[in-house]
Structure 1
Amino acid sequence: MSNTESIIQRLYSSVRKSPYKTSFIKLNSLNDVEEKISYEDLLKNVEILSKYINCKGVKRGDRLGLMYTDYFEFIIAFLACQYCGGTAVPIYVAKSAKKNEHIINLLSNAKLTFILSTSEIASQLIDVCQELVEMSERVICTDNIDVKSVFFSSSLIESALVPDEHPVFIQYTSGSTGDPKGVIISNENLMHNLRNISETFFVNDESIIFSWLPFYHDMGLVGVILESIYAGSTCILLDPVHFLQTPSRWLLGISKFKATHSGGPNFAYDMCLEIEQESIGMSNLDLSSWKVAFIGADFVNSSTIRRFSRKFETFGFNKNSIFPCYGLAEATLLVSGMKSLKCSPTILFEHNNKRDAYANNMSQGEVVSLGRCHKDLDIKIISLDRDQVCGDSEEGEICVYGPNIFSGYFGLDNNSKMFLNIDGLKYFKTGDLGFVLQKELYFLGRIKDVVVIRGRNFFPVDFETKLTDKYDFIFKGGFLMFKETDLCDDFILLIEIKRTKINVVVSERWIDDLSRYIGIAFDVQPLKILFLSPRSLPRTSSGKINRKISKHSYFTGSLKVIDVYERQSYDGFVIDYDLILRIKNQCKYEDIKLYIFTLLNKITGIIFDEIDEDNDSFRTLGVDSLRFTEVINYINKEFEIHLRLDLVRKNSSIGDFLIYMENLIWVRYGFVSNNEIIL
């Protein structure tokens, strides 16, 4: 058994070095300082609370649920758990007590010894959660401590070294694709990852960190709060709700406090792109202090990076400050993010014979480099069909080894299936698809999210990226794609609409235009597109769409639907038989045109006046390759001709197609009527 320093020892180090230095600042909705605390006062509060909960029966090894909505109360409680040798279990508490159903499942899984909370939160939750009632005697309210009743020594006596394997906290995953699972993070996991973050993003005691990220998830907890304590930095905290309400508060806060480090998921940068430059305070915005703008936690969009850098360069933002990164709770947080000059930050993802079969037919697009991993870590890409290590640029499952990788989920007896033994080392199978090129990681998406249509693999993020880039009415981050059943190729799109654009979408013909664009861009057609109110899809506590509950809401009809597109249904290609006879007997161009336009109307719903025969093609009208093949086969059978697919290019104009079809019909029926044909 070996020992590693702990986060409490790092706190002591900061107190010895700079006792009066501000450790954390909490802001109000106006970005003004609401409260701040020095490193010395932070430690005193931690010591008081740790002794208090110790008096209440908390001992080393106990699992302590933390239910807080306030940054400072949470930070002090989390550190007090570490001081006592307990295992902290952060629990998301919604502002509305009715939205805390997730707590029931978590409590039954975590088997908590005690819960730390405030009197107000505890009383609210007990009313809606029977599990809390049953353990009410083990709920410790920490907001009204009588300091005089707590034995307190002002001498700074450091705790003993913490064993490497000691579980410092259990991080419950957000559960976007299933039930939340408790990731056990040991002291070794945590301290190694905090060091890696410092070295990857150049965090030190002179850094000023600004964050709106929730403290109950890995990026906010490990990447911001604990990293700030580890490095001895100053950290400014904005309530996540205040950011979501007014995204400019994030940038204005960075400017006001001259922050050096800040970041978040891709959607946060997207939200900033909607900020009007005439907004209050934006004229004085100065982002020149922002040295590290990390972006991760989900798919990183190259378009977002370019547009953000371009929009805010006039305000002092340096595009080289962008640090795309990859991480997950099972790796404590960070896996990769180190920049390199050897590889382009984005590459065009193209297909070739070297790629493995699983990803052979995925759509093309730009993929952002998420940097190199730390020297302590190693990444292997494992092919999905052969379970072999892939070579450079070959896609497969991302598997990670290192001292920051967790050992298993709490309460799950068999964790062996989650790991792969390679050369005697245990690599965690992330469930993510990607590839490595020149030691840099490229993330393609979650394997579970891949939608297989006619043997081709599609990532929902490809659809979302293309559609949001083209249509400004789509609410970024409000997109879901899934198959109606596993036994068919029909797929559904759920798309949230910006509140300011709802009337535009409903009143104009954007819906048909969007469906046709999907056919053009991806050569497939959705069965249905449901346009929804903004932020109406069920979400996890981390803000991601909850796929499982959203799909259930679709099938039960409980979504807040604004409008619906549904692919045209038709009985084969039944068309007026008199028209077909007239074409065979007279072969007039206008009759053939009417026939083809009628087919297009049945397939796409498009009206005749909207078809430009000189410029439109089957492709631009949204007819995918499968439907196009069906059309050609039907025409060939109906008229006993042979329209060759290799000659009938889908990109040819409708007019060119009509001429080709007219000529073949003349050849087929012209001799029968003894008419002379000139070709």
Structure 2
Amino acid sequence: MPTDLDRVRTGDEALPLPELLRLRARLRPDDTAYVFLHNGEDPQDHLTYAELDAAADVRAGLLTARGLGGRRAVLMYPSGLEFVRTLLGCMRAKVAAAPVQAPRRLKDVERIRRVARDAGTTTVLTETSVLRELEDRFGDLEDLLGLTVLDTDALAVAEAGAAAAAVPDSAPGLDDIALLQYTSGSTGDPKGVIVTHANFLANAAETDALWPCAPEGTVVNWLPLFHDMGMLFGVVMPLWAGIPSYLMAPAAFIRRPARWLEAIARFRGTHAAAPSFAYELCAREAAEGRTGQVGDLSSWRVAANGAEPVRWHVIREFTEAFAPHGFAPRAMCPGYGLAENTLKATGGDQEREPTSVWLSGAALREGRVETVGVGEPGAVPITSSGRTVPGTEVRIVDPGTSRACAPDTIGEIWISGPCVAAGYWGRPEATEETFRARVRNADGSLEDERTYLRTGDIGFLHAGELHVAGRLKDLIIHQGRNYYPQDIELTAEGSAEGLHPNCAAAFAVEDLGKERFVIVVEADGRAVRAHGTQGLRERIARAIHEHHRLRFDAVVLVRRGAIPKTSSGKVQRRACRTLYENGDLPDLAAPSAVRP
């Protein structure tokens, strides 16, 4: 006979996450829910379902007693268990939480203020260690004036009794806001994606349909929890599936990527997700002989790879590097998603090795999909991001006419289904433009009344599977041909030793009415010593011209870490372009025109 939890898992009973936690705490109180690995290694902190349920009650009571029930609050936590306790407490009190990165730099503090203003709140929730650091480093900044910062861990101890009495009686509904997921763009004001409890449940169910979480499953996650991928894989999916989640701070992974793999081997992880650059870092660690303690990875069934686009050579390099450790090629599961769809939209079959389509680079620049043989001169591999599941539909649409494209034709990716978020908080015009698109027939009439999410990404469907080509706004168009910046950046990164993966940004700028092409590349001391700044710029420009027949007007060399990136490590080309145009890039040498 199916249990209550079985009915939740099969979708026969839909419970918002705090109510699902309540059910798990009643039926499986002592099972491990979350574990935090200090320094990425030591499992010192853990929560059972009963402990988490009680902690969420206390925090829900604290918020309710302060009159925040049904309102909004910014969550400013490092990766750790207090974030999980407070997030579930917010959901229980019907507080729409807006997670942000705990501040490390001035721009992080400025972003917190902008997010709070956009969300219409003056309340920031954090933990004591962050509050003290915030006061010590940034307490006199104008950006913090008017904000009330509460340390929930200290308050939970000091006011536990009173908080318990204030726990709301009514549970949140499926259409209530579970989260305001703020996009990671760095230009302009941030936009909060309205994620409902129904969105979370639908995305967890769809993810499980593609990449099933068996009862013995385990998640190992280093992604920041305020980010959409870290939120879904690190917090939501494990709670929905009823499997433990081992969490570590992103910095622990960045300092030594092998820690992530060691934790997967040690705790027999079955599910772990990361952008493409993380797998590339791990493959490089292996090539340099720094992964000797990784151990057995045979338990890893789903290595979700969610960068856009997923790099084919990274898949091959990672698979080959860790096959001796038991990593199965079919475990690599490329996928595609975005915050506006809660997260996942498509994913590769976990029972099949990843695939790619090799295309003519010349045809691709003209917006055509023309398949060629593997490795042919000028060929470009585009990795498959897999399929949807029933209920979600992906269409490829001409962004100018809103007409559906034929198979094997490049266009904008549009999505419809239960995972599409409700819109942007407080932005009706942007919501209408992005979340309410409709496909049109050849005569301009509406195909039907179904609405779609316009993703801003471009790609094509081949053999029923989605292949992502890049961002519509990042596309470089020259003499009627399309150039995809990620392909140019990959060429630049491979042009000399001392250049690193995910360390370049290619874009076009306007200069006195003329379009100029610029590439910014991070270089370490080894590359500069080997070639000199001028020689290194020439090598990069020559490689780009040889591979893409495109001449760049400026090659700018910067120090490591200078290129702006999102919280998950994706290069922010438009933000980099703004820095370049404002003269704010820390050049290793004054930029100049470089001709191959």
With normalisation by structure 1, the TM-score equals 0.77
Contact 1:5/1:161 (8 A) holds in 2: no
Matched, 1:108 2:117: yes
Among 12, 15, 23, which residue is 1:5 paired with?
15
Deviations 1:469-510 (A, max 9, x none): 443422211211112317434201100124543422427944
Deviations 1:354-379 (A, max 9, x none): x8965589985100110101111001
1:299 Cα deviation from its structure 2 partner: 1.6
Contact 2:122/2:146 (8 A) holds in 1: no
Contact 2:503/2:563 (8 A) holds in 1: yes
Matched, 1:372 2:387: yes
The residue type paired with residue 588 of structure 2 is I
Distance 2:122 2:146 in 1: 12
Contact 2:507/2:519 (8 A) holds in 1: yes
83 and 150 in structure 1: CA distance in 2 versus 1, 3 angstrom threshold? same
Q: Which residue of 1 aligns with 2:553?
A: 527
Q: Which residue of 2 aligns with 1:474?
A: 499
Q: Which residue of 1 aligns with 2:452?
A: 427
Among 425, 446, 454, which residue is 1:410 paired with?
425
Indicate the RMSD between aligned Cα atoms, in angstroms: 2.9
Identity %: 25
Distance 1:472 1:521 in 2: 18
Matched, 1:143 2:154: yes
1:271 Cα deviation from its structure 2 partner: 0.7
Q: Which residue of 2 aligns with 1:64?
A: 73
The residue type paired with residue 193 of structure 1 is N
1:109 Cα deviation from its structure 2 partner: 1.0
Contact 1:533/1:560 (8 A) holds in 2: yes
The 5 Å alignment of 1:326-337 reads: 326-337=336-347
Matched, 1:74 2:108: no
361 and 290 in structure 1: CA distance in 2 versus 1, 3 angstrom threshold? closer
Q: Residue 514 of structure 2 aligns to a residue in which SS?
A: coil
1:433 Cα deviation from its structure 2 partner: 0.3
Contact 1:178/1:548 (8 A) holds in 2: no
Contact 2:533/2:557 (8 A) holds in 1: no
Equivalences, count: 563
29 and 502 in structure 1: CA distance in 2 versus 1, 3 angstrom threshold? farther
1:396 Cα deviation from its structure 2 partner: 0.5
The residue type paired with residue 51 of structure 1 is G
1:233 Cα deviation from its structure 2 partner: 0.7
The residue type paired with residue 553 of structure 1 is L
Deviations 1:543-580 (A, max 9, x none): 33333442232233332222467446xxxxxxxxxxxx
84 and 565 in structure 1: CA distance in 2 versus 1, 3 angstrom threshold? closer
The gaps in structure 2 that reach 5 residues or longer are: 1-12, 372-377, 440-447
The residue type paired with residue 395 of structure 2 is K
Q: Which residue of 2 aligns with 1:584?
A: none
Structure number with higher relative contact order (C-alpha < 8 Å, ≥ 6 residues apart): 2
1:161 Cα deviation from its structure 2 partner: 5.6
Distance 2:353 2:328 in 1: 19
Q: Residue 251 of structure 1 aligns to a residue in which SS?
A: helix
The gaps in structure 1 that reach 5 residues or longer are: 569-603, 605-621, 623-679
Matched, 1:304 2:304: no
Among 587, 592, 596, which residue is 1:561 paired with?
587
Among 460, 480, 496, which residue is 2:522 paired with?
496
1:342 Cα deviation from its structure 2 partner: 9.7
512 and 338 in structure 1: CA distance in 2 versus 1, 3 angstrom threshold? closer
The 5 Å alignment of 1:89-108 reads: 89-96=98-105, 99-108=108-117
Matched, 1:175 2:185: yes
Among 401, 405, 417, which residue is 1:386 paired with?
401
Contact 1:62/1:113 (8 A) holds in 2: no
1:401 Cα deviation from its structure 2 partner: 0.2
1:210 Cα deviation from its structure 2 partner: 0.4
Contact 2:397/2:413 (8 A) holds in 1: yes
Q: Residue 425 of structure 1 aligns to a residue in which SS?
A: coil
Distance 2:188 2:505 in 1: 15
Q: Which residue of 1 aligns with 2:490?
A: 465
Tell me which moved more, 490-499 or 233-242.
490-499
Q: Which residue of 1 aligns with 2:221?
A: 211
Q: Residue 491 of structure 1 aligns to a residue in which SS?
A: strand
Among 326, 351, 354, which residue is 1:316 paired with?
326
The 5 Å alignment of 1:240-319 reads: 240-276=250-286, 282-283=292-293, 285-319=295-329
Distance 2:355 2:478 in 1: 30
Q: Which residue of 1 aligns with 2:464?
A: 439
